[in-house]
A and B are shown apart, each in its own frame.
Chain A
Amino acid sequence: MTAAIATSGLVKTFGATRALDGLDLTVNAGEVHGFLGPNGAGKSTTIRILLGILRADAGSVTVLGGDPWADAVALHRRIAYVPGDVELWPNLTGGEAIDLLGSLRGGLNRRRRDELIERFDLDPSKKGRTYSKGNRQKVAIVAALASDAELLLLDEPTAGLDPLMEVVFQEVIREVKAAGRTVLLSSHILAQVEKLADRISIIRQGRIVQSGTLAEMRHLTRTTVEADTATPVTGLDRLPGVHDAEVSGTRVRLAVDGAHLDGAIKHLTAFGIRALTSHPPTLEELMLRHYGDDLAAGNGTAAARR
């Protein structure tokens, strides 16, 4: 598969802040790639480098086969972008802003524009300054999605949308994917990425700490098991691969490494299982594994500029 985006060793500093610290990111053509990380991890900085709005201090970056700094304009015709903070012109209507951005990119699909305005329930005749954050976001989303761009760079695109609109957004992204276009979707909203992304890269303090399909990542992590047993469970601390076991009366909750799941379940059955739930690690848990030390340290280190 060819890579739509490939960066290697990307470094970007803002004064003393190292926003990107050797970032290696690969996004394959035709995939929806989740770009997950807490605020300040460097998501927006990465996307801006991919757009040639910022220039990397070191490292290499290729977008759609070109250099985003040198070939910015040519690449931009093939890229659509939704910024994290959408600012509109106070005296231009939403409809005008959509058309403006679309035509500056090199034309937009009129029918698709009208359809998207309809689906997102946007009033295009209101002036920019009267829109709420969610509606400003919709303007940027419609402008980006009404184009025929090959690559969509979406920086926390649904941050201001209500749950209903979020569903519409997910539908539209699936259509985009079906059409063979590539999407880089940054978010700290885990459920959204989980639903849409083929592959995920987790960024933390300017570095990709993990990258792969959701299945691959789950393989690396632990399943949570909760059970209700006839007699209180004992002897969990002798089992290999079991973590964070909590027994309270006849209820037990534990996390177990994939390789040791079988042994753990066999151990539990000896106590007479009455109810059993197990679930794969959620992205919250994946994230907590990576940021766990941050939480413990008081969350103080990841405050880099976005």
Chain B
Amino acid sequence: MTATATPALGRTAGPAAGNALAGTGRLVRFALRRDRVRIPVWLAALTLGSVWPAAAFPELYPTEAARRTAMATMNSPAGLAFTGPQRYLSDYHYGSMVSHQLLGFVVVFVGIMSVLLVTRHTRAEEETGRAELVRAAPVGRHAQLAAALILAVAVNAALAILLALGMGALGLEGTTWQGSLLYGAAHAATGVTFAGVAAVTVQLTAHSRGASGMGFAVVGAAYLVRAAGDSADSALSWASPIGWAQQTFPYLDDRWWPLLLNLAAAAVLAAAGFALSLRRDLGAGLRAARRGRPAASRLLATPLGFALRLHRGMLIGFAVGALLLGASYGPFLGDIEEMFRDIQVLQDALAALGGATVIDSFIAMVTTIFTLVATVHVVITALRPRSEETAGRAEPVLATGLSRTRWLASHLAVALAGGPVMLLLSGLALAATGAPAVAETGLFGKAVAAAAVHIPALWVTAGLAVALVGWLPRATVLAWLFVGYVGVTGYLGMLLRLPSWATALSPFSHVPRLPVEDFTWTPLLALTAIAAALIALGLYGFRRRDLETK
């Protein structure tokens, strides 16, 4: 990319040349230059992703009664698992609604951003060999990690200001400028904690993909821990950095001190990252590279086997994650039934919905979460050919008897099958862990069906990614924007009642939400047809364009 500027970096490092942090300032400026588009896009997306739904609250809950109903809906293990601590419900005005429903969700993306930022400027640089070029200049051994962390802190601080300004400017009833400042700071402090997590994970493995994957796993685990803690109103929430952010109760109590935990954790993690980096060589992970087979297996020598091999780590990681995710929601199934049995009003409301049970709507709701995880897998997998291309590894393969179509289709096949597998694993795990608590025999069928109906929408996602690879290879990041859109509309669509025009572009919004809604073929066939068309388009485009070479 813009690595051409690196050799000149150390030239003016000057007086600090003897120290381990020499050149840090220049590296920070260089990183800002490299990410001059990426960072503003992240900041804009996160700010809008938080402020835009917040702006919709007064319309969604116009009356005190509406807010009270919302409060009652949220006041269940499932509702709390999806949002935040029960304490927010004690005074459910727009301010505490925003903090309760949005904070815990948006910080997940702040965490992802922070992990990606740190990985991109440390391990990814080492992996490509560019770090060596930089380190050969008078740049200290800690400068690259320090620069990446400073960058992450700066970006998070900017996000805090933007969120504070955005929420403050919105001026919802129940919000204060003081609360808005804390609201922004809570996002930033959590982001900084996850930047610290990445400072450690980039030391462990020699691969940037592995390092960011581990970082995401920690973000995901932090979310699950707080979900489990909040749903049971237990102290477990305090074991999660996301939990700490939510314990600040912006617009309610406005207490700042839990953020000190975030900052302290970040400092400890960063220090650990610096210390671990001294125990390894540049470019190496802490785990030494193992030797492998001197010859290829029969499977590897086929196009599909080759694609599977490249995706193997990701497939295993996501499968484990999908199982854990499903298993983490299963135990709630029992609670929910018990809890709602006592609330006659809700029973009546559900009966009016066409006989849907609480369990059914819970299954439909969590399946949306499972779908998001599967979507991420689909996009990672479908975009892999593009990263193979830019890394210069596609060229020698495509100079053999393997056609472009077949090569791309092999990766696509993994995406088309892998996403649905993740989704079904989550559904099965949900049913398996929920079954002991629920006296319902059809649970497996319901959970699997709820997951399976989303498969055509996953295929559309894969089709979109492959169409980008074929036609707009430099804009494949749009596939991630699409994931963000699907995530926001899907997740918030459950909490808020977003207008249908806002969600219509998401293929997932057209899927019948089993078991609450009735099964219909039409949308599924239409989505499958759209997916097929996008795939054909992508394969055609890839056949007729120049390969990008190094």
Contact A125 B294, CB 8 Å, known A53-B399, A73-B403, A87-B393: yes
Docked CA distance A88–B394 (Å): 10
* Interface presence of A92 (CB below 8 A): yes
B300 and A106 contact, CB distance less than 8 A: no
> In the complex where A48-B549, A54-B546, A100-B301 touch, is A93 in contact with B292 (Cβ < 8 A)?
yes
Residue A53 contacts which of B206, B403, B549 (CB distance < 8 angstroms)? B549
- Interface residues as binary, A104-141 with B (CB distance below 8 Å gives 1, 0 otherwise): 11100000000000000000111101100000000010
A119 to chain B, nearest CB (A): 16
Rounded to whole Å, the gap between the CB of A112 and the closest CB of chain B is: 14
Task: Decide if B150 is an interface residue (CB 8 Å cutoff).
Answer: no
CA distance A85 to B549 in the complex (A): 10
A106 to B, closest residue via Cβ:
B401
Does A287 touch B at the CB level, under 8 Å?
no
A15 to B546, CA, bound (A): 13
Q: Let me know if B291 is at the binding interface, CB within 8 A.
A: yes
Which interface class (under 10, 10 to 19, 20 to 34, 35 or more) fits A?
35 or more
Q: Does A227 contact B (CB under 8 A)?
A: no
At the interface, yes or no: A76 with Cβ under 8 Å from chain B? yes
Residue B125 lies at the interface, judged by CB distance under 8 Å to chain A = no
CA distance A91 to B207 in the complex (A): 9
**Across the A-B interface, how many residue pairs have beta carbons closer than 8 Å?**
116
- Whether the Cβ atoms of A83 and B396 lie closer than 8 Å is yes
Chain B proximity mask over A141-153: 1 for CB below 8 Å, otherwise 0:
0010000000001
A44: chain B residues at CB < 8 Å are 549
- Residue in A76, A85, A93, A95 whose beta carbon sits within 8 Å of that of B400 in the complex: A76
Q: How far is the CA of A95 from the CA of B294 in the complex (A)?
A: 5
Does B309 lie at the interface of the complex (its beta carbon under 8 Å from any beta carbon of A)? yes
Say whether B279 faces chain A, with CB atoms less than 8 Å apart: no
In the complex, what distance in Å separates the CA atom of A125 from the CA atom of B291? 6
Interface string of A77-105 (1 = CB under 8 A from B): 10101010111111111011111110111
Report yes or no: A95 in contact with B546, Cβ–Cβ below 8 A.
no
Is A51 part of the binding interface, using a Cβ–Cβ cutoff of 8 Å? yes
CB–CB B401/A96 < 8 A: no
Contact A92 B401 (CB under 8 A): no
Asked if A85 meets B397 with Cβ closer than 8 Å, knowing A99-B301, A103-B296, the reply is no
Contacting residues, chain B, for A100 (C-beta < 8 A): 296, 300-301, 306, 397
CB < 8 Å neighbour of B393 from A88, A98, A103, A153: A88
Q: Does any Cβ of B come within 8 Å of A251's Cβ?
A: no
**B548: min CB distance to chain A, Å:** 10
Taken together as a complex, chains A and B put the C-alpha atoms of A279 and B113 apart, in Å, by: 65
- B263 at interface by CB-CB < 8 Å: no
Instruction: Tell me, yes or no, whether B317 is within 8 Å of chain A by CB.
Output: no
Of B206, B292, B396, the residue contacting A96 (CB under 8 A) is B292
**B399 lies within 8 A of A81 (CB):** yes
B207: chain A residues at CB < 8 Å are 90-91, 129
Contact call A92/B292, Cβ cutoff below 8 A: yes
A73 touches B547 (CB 8 A): no
Closest chain B residue to A53, Cβ basis = B547
Q: What residues on B are CB-neighbors of A85 within 8 Å?
A: 392, 550
Q: Counting CB contacts under 8 A, is B517 at the interface?
A: no
Closest-CB distance, A230 to chain B (whole angstroms): 54
Q: How far is the CA of A72 from the CA of B547 in the complex (A)?
A: 13
Contact with A along B286-305 (1 / 0, CB 8 A): 00011111111000111100
Question: Which residues on the B side are within 8 Å of A53 (C-beta)?
Answer: 395, 398-399, 546-547, 549
Q: Show 10 A/B contacts (Cβ-Cβ < 8 Å), sorted by A.
A: A53-B546, A53-B547, A72-B403, A79-B399, A81-B399, A85-B550, A100-B300, A101-B397, A124-B295, A126-B292
A residues near B, CB below 8 A?
A: 44, 48, 51, 53-55, 72-73, 76-77, 79, 81, 83, 85-93, 95-101, 103-106, 124-127, 129-130, 140, 143, 153
Residues on B lying within 8 angstroms of A by beta carbon are 127, 206-207, 289-296, 300-303, 306, 309-310, 313, 391-393, 395-404, 544, 546-547, 549-550
